[in-house]
C-alpha cells in the first residue's frame, strides 16, 4: 500500500495533537510499502521520532498574518493549495490519509477524483472542540467552516477514523448515519519498555497537567479548585496538589496559589513532575476527542481520576481498574476514596496501559481496521 499522508500539525513539540499525529504517522508507516508525509515546516520544529521509511515533504507557509485571517474568513483553514493537488497521483499513491477534517477541506474531493481512496482521521468531533476552545471573536467564523469541513470529510471519506466511540456517535448523527467509521484510538509513537523504575508511592501527591492556556482547561480547572479540591483535602488532609503545564493565565496562577496549590508554569521537563506523583487528576469537563494528558498520568504509572468527559476513549483503563470517573462531587469523593484505597502498583498501571496504548497495540488496531475495509 502506497500512502500519501497530509497533516496540519508539526512533527515536533509537546502538544496532544502533535503526539497523536506522530502516533498515526508511525502506525501507518508500519503497514505501508511506501509513504509520503506532507507536513507544516517551521525552523526549530524539524520532525523527530518519525519512522525512517517515511518520505518527509515540508510545506512552508509564506502567508502573512493578515492573509491567514482573510483566508479563514473565506474558509481556507490550512496552508495546502494547488501545490498539494499535484501529489494526488494514482500512479504513485493508493490512499490519501487526511490528518483531520480541517486539512482535508477543499482537498478530499480532488483526491477522490484522482482515484485515491481517502481516509480522514478525526482527532475530535471538531464542532464541539471549536465551540469549547475558541475565542468569542473567532467563534462564528470557526464554527461555520468547521461544520462544512467536517461534513465534507465524513461524506467523502472511504473510511473515517476517530479516537473515541462518542465521536463516532456525534459525527454519524450530525452528518451521515451510513458512513464508515472505526475507532483507532491513540498510541505511543515510539517503542517503550513499560517497566516501572520504582513502585514507591510518595504519600498523596496529586498531579494535574495539560495545556493550561487552553480555554477548556482553564474553564474546567478554576471551578474545580472551588468545588472539588476541598473534597480532596477532606479525604486526604495531608495531600499535595501540583498543577503543571504550558502558558497558564495569571487568573489561573492566582486561583491555584489562593488555594495553596503548587503551580509550575511551562516546565522545561514534565517527567520529574510526573515521576514524583502518586495519583493523577484530570478535571477537564469540556471538549471532545481523547484527552492525551490522561495518557501522561498512566504512562507514569499513576492511577487516574478523571471527569467523565475526559474518560472518553479510556474505557479499557476503567475496566482494568486503573482509571476512575466522576460527574459530580458525590461521585468524586466516592471514586477518590476507592482509588487511594486500592493496592495497585505502578507496574500494574503500566501493564494495563501497554495493552492498549503501546505503539504495537496501535499498529495492530490499524491493521485489523484496514483489513476489514479491504484497504490493506
Q: Indicate whether 199 pLDDT > 80.
A: no
Query: For residue 243, is it within any domain?
Result: yes
Looking at residue 356, what is its pLDDT?
Answer: 96
SS3 content of the chain, % helix, strand, coil (to 5): 45, 20, 40
Residue 344 CB contacts under 8 Å (≥ 6 apart), including other chains: 303, 321, 322
Report CA 227 to chain centroid distance, whole Å: 27
% of the chain residues with pLDDT over 90: 77
Structure-block grid coordinates of residue 281 = 487528576
* 177 and 223, same domain (yes or no): no
Looking at residue 71, what is its pLDDT?
Answer: 86
Structure-block grid coordinates of residue 214 = 487552553
Number of domains within the chain: 2
Greater confidence (365 vs 374) lies with: 365
* 17 and 100, same domain (yes or no): yes
Query: For residue 197, is it within any domain?
Result: no
Q: How far is CA 190 from CA 25, 83, 130, in A?
A: 11, 31, 29
* Spatial contact of 117 and 95, defined as CB atoms under 8 Å apart: yes
Q: Indicate whether 207 pLDDT > 90.
A: yes
Query: For residue 281, is it within any domain?
Result: yes
* 229 and 260, same domain (yes or no): yes
Confidence of residue 202 (pLDDT cuts 50, 70, 90): low
Looking at residue 8, what is its pLDDT?
Answer: 93
Query: For residue 329, is it within any domain?
Result: yes
From 32-36, 73-77, 358-362, the region with the lowest mean pLDDT: 73-77
Greater confidence (373 vs 137) lies with: 373
* Residues 316-333, mean pLDDT to the nearest whole number: 98
Query: For residue 196, is it within any domain?
Result: no
Supply the range of the domain harboring residue 295.
Answer: 205-356
Confidence of residue 201 (pLDDT cuts 50, 70, 90): low
Looking at residue 229, what is its pLDDT?
Answer: 98
From 94-98, 112-116, 125-129, the region with the lowest mean pLDDT: 125-129
Alpha helix positions (H), the chain: 16-31, 65-73, 82-85, 101-104, 108-113, 126-132, 139-156, 165-174, 215-227, 229-235, 250-258, 271-275, 293-299, 315-319, 329-341, 346-357, 359-372
Alpha helix positions (H), 157-228: 165-174, 215-227
Long-range contacts of 59-63 (CB under 8 A, 24+ apart): 59/83, 59/84
Q: Which of 320, 265, 256, 257 is nearest to 283 (CA)?
A: 256
pLDDT digits (tens, 9 = 90+) for 1-37: 999 999 999 999 878 899 999 999 999 999 999 999 9
* 292 and 343, same domain (yes or no): yes
The mean pLDDT of the chain is: 93
Confidence of residue 198 (pLDDT cuts 50, 70, 90): confident
Query: For residue 122, is it within any domain?
Result: yes
Q: How far apart are CA 297 and CA 109, in angstroms?
A: 40
Using DSSP's 3-state secondary structure scheme, residue 245 falls into: strand
Query: For residue 198, is it within any domain?
Result: no
* 242 and 285, same domain (yes or no): yes
* 236 and 162, same domain (yes or no): no
Q: Which of 328, 350, 349 is nearest to 283 (CA)?
A: 328
Q: How far apart are CA 362 and CA 367, in angstroms?
A: 9
Q: How far is CA 174 from CA 22, 159, 370, in A?
A: 28, 17, 25
* 301 and 179, same domain (yes or no): no
Q: Indicate whether 223 pLDDT > 90.
A: yes
* 172 and 246, same domain (yes or no): no
Confidence of residue 200 (pLDDT cuts 50, 70, 90): low
Structure-block grid coordinates of residue 82 = 494547488
Q: How far apart are CA 286 and CA 220, in angstroms?
A: 7
pLDDT digits (tens, 9 = 90+) for 136-160: 888 888 889 999 999 999 999 999 9
Structure-block grid coordinates of residue 314 = 479510556
* 40 and 59, same domain (yes or no): yes
Q: Indicate whether 360 pLDDT > 80.
A: yes
* 351 and 362, same domain (yes or no): no
Q: Indicate whether 193 pLDDT > 80.
A: yes
* Residues 184-201, mean pLDDT to the nearest whole number: 87
* Residues 221-232, mean pLDDT to the nearest whole number: 97
Q: How far apart are CA 43 and CA 27, in angstroms?
A: 26
Greater confidence (308 vs 63) lies with: 308
Handedness of CA 125, 99, 191, 376 (dihedral sign): positive
* Residues 327-337, mean pLDDT to the nearest whole number: 98
Looking at residue 75, what is its pLDDT?
Answer: 84
Looking at residue 135, what is its pLDDT?
Answer: 84
Query: For residue 307, is it within any domain?
Result: yes
CATH number at residue 303: 3.40.50.2000
Q: Indicate whether 225 pLDDT > 90.
A: yes
* 160 and 284, same domain (yes or no): no
* 338 and 292, same domain (yes or no): yes
Amino acid at each position: 500500500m502506497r500512502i500519501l499522508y497530509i497533516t496540519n500539525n508539526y512533527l515536533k513539540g509537546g502538544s496532544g495533537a502533535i503526539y497523536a499525529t506522530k502516533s498515526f504517522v508511525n502506525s501507518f508507516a508500519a503497514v505501508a510499502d511506501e509513504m509520503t508525509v506532507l507536513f507544516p515546516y517551521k525552523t526549530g520544529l524539524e520532525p523527530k521520532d518519525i519512522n525512517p521509511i517515511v518520505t518527509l515533504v515540508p510545506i512552508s507557509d509564506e502567508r502573512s498574518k493578515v492573509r491567514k485571517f482573510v483566508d479563514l474568513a473565506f474558509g481556507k483553514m490550512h496552508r495546502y493549495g494547488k501545490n498539494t493537488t499535484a501529489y494526488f497521483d494514482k500512479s504513485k499513491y493508493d490512499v490519501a490519509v487526511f490528518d483531520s477534517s480541517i486539512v482535508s477541506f477543499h482537498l478530499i474531493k480532488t483526491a477522490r477524483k484522482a482515484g485515491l481512496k481517502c481516509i480522514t482521521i478525526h482527532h475530535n468531533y471538531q464542532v464541539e472542540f471549536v465551540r469549547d476552545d475558541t475565542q468569542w471573536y473567532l467563534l462564528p467564523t470557526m464554527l461555520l467552516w468547521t461544520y462544512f469541513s467536517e461534513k465534507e470529510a465524513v461524506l467523502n471519506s472511504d473510511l473515517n477514523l476517530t479516537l473515541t466511540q462518542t465521536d463516532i456517535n456525534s459525527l454519524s448523527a450530525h452528518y451521515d448515519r451510513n458512513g464508515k467509521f472505526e475507532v483507532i484510538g491513540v498510541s505511543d509513537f515510539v517503542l517503550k519498555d513499560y517497566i516501572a523504575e520504582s513502585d514507591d508511592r510518595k504519600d498523596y501527591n496529586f498531579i494535574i497537567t495539560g495545556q493550561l492556556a487552553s480555554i477548556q482547561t482553564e474553564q474546567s480547572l478554576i471551578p474545580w479548585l472551588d468545588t472539588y479540591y476541598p473534597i480532596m483535602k477532606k479525604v486526604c488532609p495531608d495531600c499535595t496538589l501540583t498543577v503543571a503545564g504550558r502558558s497558564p493565565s495569571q487568573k489561573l496562577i492566582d486561583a491555584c496559589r489562593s488555594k495553596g496549590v503548587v503551580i509550575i508554569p511551562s516546565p522545561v521537563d514534565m517527567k520529574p513532575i510526573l515521576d514524583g506523583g502518586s495519583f493523577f487528576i484530570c478535571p477537564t469537563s469540556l471538549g471532545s476527542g481523547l484527552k492525551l494528558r490522561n495518557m501522561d498520568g498512566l504512562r507514569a504509572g499513576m492511577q487516574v481520576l478523571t471527569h467523565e468527559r475526559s474518560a472518553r476513549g479510556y474505557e479499557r483503563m476503567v475496566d482494568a481498574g486503573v482509571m476512575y470517573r466522576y460527574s459530580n462531587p458525590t461521585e468524586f469523593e466516592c471514586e477518590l476514596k476507592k482509588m487511594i484505597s486500592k493496592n495497585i502498583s505502578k507496574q500494574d498501571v503500566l501493564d494495563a496501559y501497554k495493552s492498549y496504548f503501546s505503539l504495537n497495540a496501535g499498529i495492530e488496531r490499524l491493521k485489523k481496521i484496514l483489513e476489514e475495509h479491504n484497504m490493506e
